Structure 1
Amino acid sequence: MARVTVYDIAEKAGASTATVSFAFRHPDKVKDDTKARILRISEELGYVPSGNARGLARGRTGTLGIYAFDMLLERPQGSGLEEDRPDASSATVNASVDGDEPDVLAYPLYVDEVLRGFELECWKSGKGILMGAASKKDDHRSVTDIAGCVDGLALMPSGYNDMLPLSMLAKTIPLVMVGVGDEKLPAAYLQCDNASGIRQIVDHLVEVHHINDMAFVGDVNGGGACASGTDTDDVVLRYDAFKKYLEERGLDSRGALLDDSFATSDEYLVSVCEAIESNRLPQALVCGTDQTAFDVIRLLVDSGIRVPEDVIVTGFDGILAGRLMTPHLTTIRQPMEELGRRAARMLLSRNGKPWEKPEKLILPVRLVVRGSCGCG
């Protein structure tokens, strides 16, 4: 079957080839009805703008792609600009940000470890890799440019993914959705075992520390983008599991969510601040991600509240900075490098052929007990 070209789309849509190109590369410059018609026809015919026509003419490019919204938002290691970050001088992190040393709150994060695994698996298999990130929430060009150059594409979680033409892409190349729980597309879905991780935390807090009053902190409404370390689908699943396991143990789950703000919000952690001011903090704060836990610990310490003596704080992810906090962060470690490796393997196994229906793989997690809960 011949590959669909821009000329086919232009002819059926009654538009010029330039307009078709603009619909993908500069959608803000195309009328809404024209853009919608072009995207609909492109999806029907399975058209993907090609950034590497020569490779696609052979049917394969020998390259895999990985795409994220936050990959380019953090300053690179050794840039000398880390000191400009508002949190770079935090006393809760035992890491220098002077000179060429990175701020561990900027690098490495969840996405960095997943990317490392993806890169290692591509290297092992002799495949090239293309990386990309959106510059804005409706950035069709950045994802279609990558998709047109690769044999398969992995996408990191983001609240913006639904705004991309992914249903069209899923018909033309294999997609792996990392950390995404809603199986809307014929694609592979790769996650860690969020429910098991939360169960391990709740069990530890109840059985070891005899906690009967705890609250969840994290963006469970999908308002945050990944730049804050918030993987919205994962955090929602963690919150749901948290409520479930509290109820199983006969604990009050009505106040299970203490704060659902996100890091880019103007009212970030307001509920936590109000709880501090009114002296109604629970015995433990279970945070949806490690980075949320870092912010919570900083807020508590700045307010003269001791962790873990006054309030226990836990995280979820197991990123490097958790080992450098004071106290060290009790967390759930997910196999982030393995997530990246598995994503690459799943794409390689398809040989460029899209999935016909959703396929899901869940990887195990483990509790890492440290000082922020009173252990270690």
Structure 2
Amino acid sequence: MAARAGVSIATVSFTFSQPHRVKSATATAVLEAAAELGYVPSGNARGLARGRTGAIGIFSFDYMVDGSGDPDPDSVAADAASTSANTFPLYVDEVQYGAETESRRLGYALMLGGARTLPGEHAVTDIVGRVDGLITFSGIVPLEMMRGFAGRLPIVELSGEVRLEGVHTVTVENEAGMRAMTEHLIDQHGAKRICYVGTSTTAEFAARYEGYSGAMRDAGLAPQPPLESRPAREHTTIAAISGQLTLGMPDAFLFASDQEAIVALRLFEQLGVSVPRDVKVASFDGILAGLLVSPTLTTVQQPMHAIGRAAVGVIVDALAGRPDIRHVRLPLALRIRQSCGCGGTD
């Protein structure tokens, strides 16, 4: 390639690794020679030379898997499944999109891995061995494994609280956001009996329940124990709501995630329950699907793209030598729409 372009081997190397050091006309000649020869720079070779892979890993749960097993990707069943609510871009997908765009902007590749694609420990270990830094969602990687990884590469844990010294975090104001939504239902709609639907098994979901409970107590109302439900486990959401309806209709249902709220809206339609006339509905996350259901979903908006971008930024700063462990906390916003009775579209 150097001979074809009429330059030195060092100039070819600089054109691909440090293009700012090469004159524009020279770089053009090198790139034209590369195109003629079908040359593509080897990421592996460049990684060996730099002692880096040039990749950042993101390891997540998969909310689009319902636990019943994946269909054959070439089957009609797989095509049919692609139209279900659980295959719509969700929280995890939006965070990954933010991480991917920021990685690309900063010159890194992004490697994706999921806790259900392989047995969890093997899958994350496989990723760690191939990347310069790791982003993981809260609670997926066991603490002992995380402790071992943190000695080898920078790690950012998303959505939860600080679990381990030496691990960066990027999270949101889960408790404050759910408190604000509960206060909206109480102050603006006079709701007194608000049922909370969701799990509290992870730090972020526990914080959301605390936000609801605190707002209820401050208003002189009794918080209800959470009705156990999990995102992407539709049967748990349906069972939680159905069980409550046998005891009576509350003033409002407050859901820990938009996915659960969307399942509920579909169930209410089937049962002939009018939202928001018969019951108010609000939730948390701000996924795009909340704008496409009827009524549109009142929710606490997470800055999902910003979460992904911030996590990549923390990793890249650490790789550049920034020594401090960072704990980034991003703000939230209420999106007041139709399901609570306000009639807004955003």
Q: Same fold (TM over 0.5)?
A: yes
CA distance in 1, matches of 2:229, 2:126: 33
Aligned-partner Cα distance in 1 for 2:243–2:120:
37
Q: Is the 8 A contact 1:139 1:164 kept in 2?
A: no
Conserved? CA contact 1:65–1:147, under 8 Å:
yes
Query: Which secondary structure state, in structure 2, belongs to the residue aligned with residue 240 of structure 1?
Result: helix
**Alignment check: 8 A CA contact 1:60 1:151 kept:** yes
What secondary structure, in the 3-state scheme, does the structure 1 residue paired with 2:96 have? Answer: helix
* CA offsets 1:89-142 (integer angstroms, 9 cap, x no match): xxxxxxxx4xxxxx5541211111111111111111111221112336853222
- 2:186 is equivalent to residue 206 of structure 1: yes
Change (3 A) 1:256 1:139: closer
Aligned to 1:144: 125
Map residues 307-346 of structure 1 onto 2, 5 A cutoff. 307-346=275-314
Choose which of 70, 84, 101 in structure 1 pairs with 2:80.
84
1:68 aligns with 2:60: yes
What residue is the counterpart of 1:303 in the other structure? 271
Q: Does 1:233 align with 2:214?
A: no
Q: Counterparts of 1:235-250 in structure 2 under 5 Å?
A: 235-250=205-220
- Residue 144 of structure 1 deviates from its aligned partner by 1.6
Tell me the residue number matched to 1:112.
93
1:273 equivalent in structure 2 = 242
Give the structure with the higher percent helix.
Answer: 2
Q: Is the 8 A contact 1:109 1:319 kept in 2?
A: yes
SS in 2 for 1:373: coil
**More divergent stretch after superposition (326-335 vs 128-137):** 128-137
Does the 8 Å contact 2:121/2:141 carry over to 1?
no
The letter of the residue matching 1:171 is G
Which amino acid in structure 1 is aligned with residue 264 of structure 2? V
Structure 2 counterpart of 1:142, which letter? A
Query: Aligned with 1:261: secondary structure?
Result: coil
Cα distance in structure 2, aligned partners of 1:71 and 1:284: 25
The match for 1:362 among 323, 326, 329 is: 329
**SS in structure 2 of the partner of residue 300 of structure 1:** helix
Quote the Cα distance in structure 2 between the aligned partners of 1:350 and 1:285. Answer: 42
Q: Residues 375 and 315 of structure 1: is their aligned pair in 2 closer, same or farther, counting only changes over 3 Å? A: same
Q: What is the CA–CA distance in structure 2 between the aligned matches of 1:261 and 1:63, rounded to whole Å?
A: 36
Query: Using CA pairs below 8 Å that are at least 6 residues apart, which structure has the higher relative contact order?
Result: 1
On the 8 A contact 1:117/1:341 being kept in 2, the answer is yes
Larger Rg: 2
Q: Which runs of 5+ in 2 are unaligned?
A: 1-43
Alignment correspondent of 1:373: 340
Taking the aligned partners of 1:281 and 1:195, their CA distance within structure 2 comes to 26
Flag the 1:313–1:173 CA change in 2: closer, same or farther, 3 A.
Answer: same
2:255 corresponds to which residue?
287
Q: Is the 8 A contact 1:318 1:332 kept in 2?
A: yes
- Between the aligned partners of 1:139 and 1:353, the Cα distance in structure 2 is 30
Q: Name the CA distance, whole Å, in 1 between partners of 2:107 and 2:78.
A: 34
Cα distance in 1 between the residues matched to 2:63 and 2:251? 35
The alignment partner of 1:197 has SS state of helix
Label 1:352 to 1:145 Cα distance change in 2 as closer, same or farther (>3 A): farther
> What TM-score do the two structures reach when normalised by structure 1?
0.71
Q: Cα–Cα, structure 1 residues 78 and 247, in superposed 2: closer, same or farther, change >3 Å?
A: farther
> 1-side partners of 2:48 and 2:161: how far apart?
31
- State the partner residue of 2:142: 162
After TM superposition, the score normalised by the length of structure 2 is 0.76
Q: How many residues align?
A: 295
The Cα of 1:352 is off from its aligned counterpart by 6.9
**How big is the shift at 1:321?**
0.5
Structure 1 CA distance, aligned partners of 2:160 and 2:125? 20
The one-letter code matched in structure 2 to 1:328 is T
- Does the aligned pair in 2 maintain the 1:211–1:284 contact within 8 Å? yes
Partner SS for 2:189: coil
CA-based RMSD of the aligned residues comes to 3.0
CA distance in 2, matches of 1:161, 1:352: 25
Q: Which amino acid aligns with 2:297?
A: L
Shift of 1:301: 2.0
Task: Give secondary structure in 1 for the equivalent of 2:339.
Answer: helix
